[in-house]
Chains A and B, each alone.
Chain A
Amino acid sequence: MNPELAEYFGKLCMELDVNSMKPLDNLGHPVSVIRDAQTLAAQAFGADNAFFMVNGTTSAVQTMIWASTSRGEKIILPRNVHRSAINALVVNGAVPVYINPGRDRRLGIPLGMRIADVEKAISEHPDAKAILVNNPTYYGICSDLATIVKLAHEAGMLVLADEAHGTHFTFHEDLPVSAMAAGADMAACSIHKTGGSLTQSSILLSRRPVNPDYVRQIITLTQSTSANYLLLSSLDIARHHLFFKGRAAYQKTIDFSDYAREEINDLGGYYAFGPELVDGDAVFAFDRTKLSVHTRDIGLAGIEVYDHLRDDYGIQIEFGDVGNLLAILSAGDRMMDVERLISALAEIKRLHERSPAGLFDHEYIDPVIDMAPQDAFYAKKRRVPMRESTGLVAGEFVMSYPPGIPIVAPGERITPDILEHILFAKDKGCFMTGTEDMNLDFIQVVA
């Protein structure tokens, strides 16, 4: 045992860091304790099967896609997906059929999918194998999942839910419907985001008729054979906590968030949006635990307010983007912390408010797609200066992280609007990722 590590992490932590012993079971072939823990997790989430994942919800999303599609097959998905979904297509060669999400003009954010758009995609692509749904989006917005499940199942398609930001839905009745309760076939749950397990741990849920043994095979294609027991045990403990104490914890979170929305909206200038956005279609439901605030009306980009909160007031929130910020509150916060956030927002407005003229006003641009992601990623490519890339087809991703939703993905045309979005986000200090060039001065395009 490394003594420096043991002193830093503590002895118990080191004792849990074990592997490859018979009594500990094997994540790739679970027959005892891991199987038992996964069975309990499946029960807690109302699924038929649960799989513990140690490579993040990224691996859960990818497993869902790989378990339902193969090379050349179609999958319907909203374009505002996390990069992990499109990455999965780069690897297995499935072809995306994008549904442009609804958009809120004032907020500039992508919403859920409209039912009419889903119906249209299904009728135009009856050969698609699956449909992927964000439940919810990063901003807490849900599509009408139960209706989508009905439409998809009638057409013989599987429904996959990216529930990275919706782990908590199962555990409180005032929250949007969870994927399993809505009848979805698989769901990727980031227990580490809002469920209290260690970072990188996640759970994949499935229901019959999805074959759990095939899912397990898909997982083992890319999963480490040395899964970390700190991560695994944190999932089991988090499941226990969610099941027995989750409701109270999320009630507290909802109360914090509702209170903060009211107070922030009283400040003027900011718009902390909430359930009033619900329109029965593109915003079918809103996750009230999320505290999203529109900042453009005070003349500041979300990322600028995010930076002020951290640098001037010592408050770290989830992310800020072009026109909004997102704070994730939890039962671990105290009323004092919520008051501090509200007061800091009041102060930032008092000290830095300016005209919103010239601020980029939307987070989402409908893509123009020329090639499938895999074809574009593996095509012969050339490097061009970012500023001179208009009209060319991207061979790689560009995104702000967080939230990790690609502004442009491999195979998509770089339009003037997309270029402006990229340059604006970079200029305002968003953490831009995806390109080979770490400075984002150049981009790989299809030659």
Chain B
Amino acid sequence: MELWYTDEHTRDVRFSMKVVEQIASRKSDVQQIDILDTQAYGRVLVLDGGLMITEKDEFIYHEMITHVPMAVHPRVKNVLVIGGGDGGTVRELVKYRSIESIDLVEVDKHVVLLAKKYLPFTSSKLRDRRVKVWFEEGLRYVRGKKAEYDLIIVDSSDPYGPAEGFFTREFYGTCYKALRDDGILINQHESPFYSAHQKSVRDAHRHIAVEFPLATVYQCHIPSYPSGHWLFGFASKKYHPIGDLDEERWNRLRIRTRYYNTALHRGAFALPNYVLDILKEEELQK
């Protein structure tokens, strides 16, 4: 018998991988959590039936969501990660000795518990002494913060269900308030390719552009995600993603990465015309 896991990319497009074994299955207050071992992608984390990360390509996502802002902002000391209970984003952040504190706010503690047990490749650094994990609703956590962070990373799932609130204007506004005067906000920004996800891209960009003086997106290629073409939002109070990129400083740190490098950093902000059009259309509406 063959066992296959299917991630519904859209109502009409599916992506399936052959399952070796189901590792864990748990229903939390927030969602259904499953961890599978697959032939092609290694261990994968599935929330409410939707694919979150795979062992094989998570490095792309986690490197791009962290090293891009870290190579731009010269003095990141306090970081807030919202979502990201698998620990992959934290794993990249702890590579910077200059970072003093990392607050990870994850609404579902079972994601963290299961990741620690079954996804060591992402969760390995959650015990770093600089990391503090808060099991709380992200929207609520940020609401109480004012000018406390240099960098906020929104490492959320898709905007249906628990993560819906992370694609709203009130959330980006409270993030703006929680950042210092030269702070940067990075967010998982969905894919522009299929119309279902494109709506999320549009909503997120329109809302962020209202709140931040500088708002753009950058892209990368993640094979297991819908269409493979994925965006991150770069919103900033001061620093420009290319103009303030300090290649020399970053390369001196000798951080080992498999996807990110400073040449790719520049290229990631060079966007296809249809994506530029989407951004422009939404900026006109703000």
Query: Which A residues form the contact surface with B (CB < 8 A)?
Result: 263, 312-314, 335-336, 339-340, 342-344, 346-347, 350-351
Contacts and interface: CB of A to CB of B under 8 A. Distances in A.
Nearest to A315: B170
7 contacts: A313-B168, A313-B169, A314-B168, A335-B137, A342-B140, A343-B139, A350-B177
Interface in B34-70: none
Contacts of B168: 313-314, 340, 343-344
Contacts of A343: 139-140, 142-143, 165, 168, 170-171, 173-174
Contacts of A312: 169
Given A346-B174, A347-B174, A350-B177, A339 B140 contact: yes
Contact of A336 (B164, B169, B173, B177): B164
A344 B140 CA distance: 11
A81 B44 CA distance: 60
Contacts of B164: 336
A346 B143 contact: yes
B139 A340 contact: yes
Contacts of B171: 340, 343
Contacts of B174: 343, 346-347
Interface string B161-201: 01011001111011001000000000000000000000000
B159 to A, nearest CB: 11
* Most chain B beta-carbon contacts within 10 A, residue among A263, A335, A346, A347: A347
A351 B139 contact: no
Contact of A347 (B137, B162, B165, B170): B170
Interface string B143-163: 100000000000000000010
Interface residues of B, number: 15
B162 A336 contact: yes
Contacts of A336: 137, 139, 162, 164-165
Contacts, number: 49
Contacts of B170: 313, 340, 343-344, 346-347
Q: Is the interface of A mostly helix, strand, loop or mixed?
A: helix
A276 B6 CA distance: 53
* Most chain A beta-carbon contacts within 10 A, residue among B137, B164, B169: B169
- The 4 A-B pairs with the shortest beta carbon distances in the complex, nearest first, are A343-B170, A344-B170, A347-B173, A339-B139
A346 B143 CA distance: 8
* Most chain A beta-carbon contacts within 10 A, residue among B139, B164, B170: B170
A312 B170 CA distance: 9
Contacts of A347: 169-170, 173-174
Contacts of B137: 335-336, 339
Given A313-B170, A336-B162, 17 more contacts: A263-B143, A313-B169, A314-B169, A336-B137, A336-B139, A339-B137, A339-B165, A340-B139, A340-B168, A340-B171, A343-B168, A343-B171, A343-B173, A344-B169, A347-B170, A347-B173, A350-B173
Contacts of A263: 140, 143
A344 B139 CA distance: 10
A326 B137 CA distance: 24
Contacts of A346: 143, 170, 174
A219 to B, nearest CB: 44
A347 B169 CA distance: 9
A314 B142 CA distance: 20
B118 to A, nearest CB: 27
A312 B169 CA distance: 8
B237 to A, nearest CB: 15
Nearest to A345: B170
Interface string B119-148: 000000000000000000101101100000
A347 B207 CA distance: 13
B54 to A, nearest CB: 27
A312 B142 CA distance: 19
Contacts of B142: 343
* Most chain A beta-carbon contacts within 10 A, residue among B137, B142, B164, B173: B173
Given A314-B168, A335-B137, A342 B173 contact: no
A339 B143 CA distance: 9
A347 B168 CA distance: 12
Contacts of A314: 168-169
Interface string B191-220: 000000000000000000000000000000
A340 B165 CA distance: 6
Nearest to B161: A336
A351 B170 CA distance: 11
A332 to B, nearest CB: 15
